[in-house]
């Protein structure tokens, strides 16, 4: 081999190396960016808490008294405990990043367990762990404010036997609502898209005659996969939202219309993937089944479909991934109101839209957005692993030709 040839080969090889380097670098950058920025705020509370922080004003119930309440468990070094009141507080940073005073421990017999609601509510209030103490007002001395810090608050509290008012807030900033919305969306969309998509694929592959009409339908479906999803969103807004408004008690965008829109987006993908996996099933099985006196339908549903199962599973996972990631279309079809109480016929946000909402807020909350991104990535990762696992189990059972 001549030198020139060697140089050329080396050059081309080097280009391929470089290309992969860039791809990997880009991937790592994205993941790195997301993780580095979002890791700080990642905690369990984020997932389980409401978004909206609700503040309450309460006062002591009649007959509630101070006493001596020994802590029933060991409290951390950063917790300031009042045995008079049975309340332990500590300093913390809330989800939004502000320094707050947070309830660490409430003694079961503490007067803080049952409080009067001074506001509009009828029911009793109760202090729970992780609630933020905003302000405690007293008769005889000036209020204890959260900016003083938990140590100071406990000192002031200990010096008093009663208080006039307690203002506190349940934790907010959580994405529980959005997570629930996302799960609803996944379930509803799958319920709509999968049967229709799989059914269409079965028709196209097994029953449709091989003529121009069928070929036309197929190319139409191919085209649909390329349409930008925001157009589907417009369609959702124009068609599905009014439809659901008419049929249910919805008043605007809602989860049902969102799921309908997503189903339409997903239909071509599901149809295509399912068709591919049906095509791969060897004709041998069809012949064997028909030769045994089974009908076409029996053959399709008892032999072909189970065999195409892993392919359909892949289609499902692709679908779920798309659902989670879809933001533009949903902005129109569901709306952008972040809700804690999620109802099917009401506006809400999926995780992706939640990110969008966070970023279009003043100021843009990049940290929280990246944290949510991490959660999304984790969900996708778990999904992928479970698909691979399920698919392997199915293959073992059907012993196949995967």
Please give the residue ranges that form the binding site for another protein (CB under 8 A).
209-210, 282, 284-285, 287-295, 298, 302-303, 307, 398-401
Q: Cβ closer to another protein: 359 or 400?
A: 400
Q: Given the complex with another protein, which of 76 and 209 has the nearer CB atom? A: 209
Name every residue whose Cβ is closer than 8 Å to that of residue 80 and which is 6 or more positions away in sequence: 88, 89, 90, 150, 151, 153, 154
Q: Which two tokens stand for residue 356?
A: 């969008």
- Main-chain dihedrals φ then ψ at residue 85, nearest 5 degrees: -105, -10
- CB neighbourhood size of 185 (10 A): 25
Q: Name the minimum Å distance from CB 216 to another protein.
A: 18
Query: Nearest distance from residue 212's CB to another protein, in Å?
Result: 14
* Alpha carbons 101 and 181: distance in angstroms, whole number: 31
User: What is the DSSP-derived secondary structure letter of residue 84?
Assistant: T
Residue of 119, 162, 154 lying closest to 137 (CA atoms): 162
Contacting residues for 12 by C-beta, under 8 A, at least 6 apart:
none
Q: How far is the CB of 390 from another protein (least distance, A)?
A: 17
Nearer to another protein by Cβ, of 71 and 294: the residue is 294
Residue among 39 and 285 whose Cβ is closer to another protein: 285
Q: Tell me how far apart the alpha carbons of residues 144 and 153 are, in angstroms, rounded to a whole number.
A: 6
Provide the CB-side half-sphere exposure for 348 (13 A, CA): 30
* Least distance in angstroms from the C-beta of 286 to another protein: 8
Both tokens of 396, joined, read: 């073992």
| Residue closer to another protein (CB basis): 166 or 305 | 305
Q: Which tokens go with 92?
A: 């913390």
Nearest distance in Å: CB 213, another protein: 15
159 touches 122 (CB < 8 A): no
Which of 113/313 has CB closer to another protein? 313
In angstroms, give the least distance from the CB of 400 to another protein. 5
CB 311, min distance to another protein, A: 14
What's the Cα-to-Cα distance from 224 to each of 186, 208, 218, 265, rounded to whole Å?
A: 21, 20, 10, 8
Q: Give, rounded to a whole angstrom, the gap between the first and last alpha carbons of the chain.
A: 42
Helices 212-224 and 255-280: crossing angle in degrees, nearest 10, is: 130
CB nearer to another protein: pick between 204 and 355: 204
**Smaller CB distance to another protein: residue 176 or 286?**
286
Minimum CB separation from another protein for residue 6, in Å? 48
């Amino acid at each position: 081999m001549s030198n020139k040839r060697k140089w050329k080969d080396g050059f081309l090889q080097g280009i391929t190396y470089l290309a992969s380097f860039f791809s990997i670098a880009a991937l790592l950058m994205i993941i790195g960016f997301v993780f580095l920025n979002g890791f700080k705020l990642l905690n369990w509370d984020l997932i389980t808490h409401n978004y909206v922080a609700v503040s309450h004003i309460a006062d002591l119930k009649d007959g509630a008294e101070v006493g001596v309440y020994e802590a029933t468990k060991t409290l951390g070094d950063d917790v300031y405990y009042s045995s008079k009141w049975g309340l332990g507080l500590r300093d913390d940073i809330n989800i939004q990043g502000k320094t707050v005073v947070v309830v660490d421990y409430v003694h079961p017999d503490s007067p803080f367990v049952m409080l009067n609601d001074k506001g509009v509510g009828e029911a009793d209030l109760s202090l729970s762990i992780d609630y933020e103490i905003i302000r405690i007002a007293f008769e005889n001395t000036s209020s204890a404010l959260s900016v003083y810090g938990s140590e100071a608050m406990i000192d002031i509290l200990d010096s008093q036997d009663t208080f006039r008012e307690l203002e506190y807030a349940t934790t907010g900033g959580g994405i529980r609502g959005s997570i629930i919305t996302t799960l609803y969306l996944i379930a509803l969309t799958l319920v709509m898209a999968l049967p229709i998509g799989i059914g269409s694929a079965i028709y196209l592959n097994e029953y449709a005659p091989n003529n121009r009409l069928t070929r036309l339908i197929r190319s139409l479906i191919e085209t649909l996969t390329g349409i930008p999803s925001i157009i589907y969103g417009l369609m959702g807004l124009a068609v599905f939202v009014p439809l659901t408004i008419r049929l249910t008690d919805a008043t605007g965008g809602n989860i049902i219309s969102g799921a309908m829109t997503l189903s339409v987006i997903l239909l071509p993908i599901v149809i295509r993937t399912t068709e591919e996996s049906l095509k791969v099933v060897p004709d041998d099985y069809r012949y064997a089944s028909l030769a045994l006196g089974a009908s076409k339908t029996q053959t399709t549903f008892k032999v072909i479909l189970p065999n195409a199962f892993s392919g359909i599973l892949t289609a499902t996972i692709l679908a779920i991934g798309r659902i989670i990631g879809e933001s533009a279309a949903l902005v129109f079809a569901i709306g952008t109101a972040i809700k804690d109480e999620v109802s099917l016929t009401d506006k809400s946000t999926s995780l992706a839209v939640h990110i969008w909402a966070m970023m279009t807020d003043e100021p843009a909350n990049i940290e929280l957005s990246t944290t949510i991104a991490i959660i999304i990535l984790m969900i996708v990762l778990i999904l992928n692993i479970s698909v691979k696992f399920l698919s392997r189990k199915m293959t073992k059972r059907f012993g196949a030709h995967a």
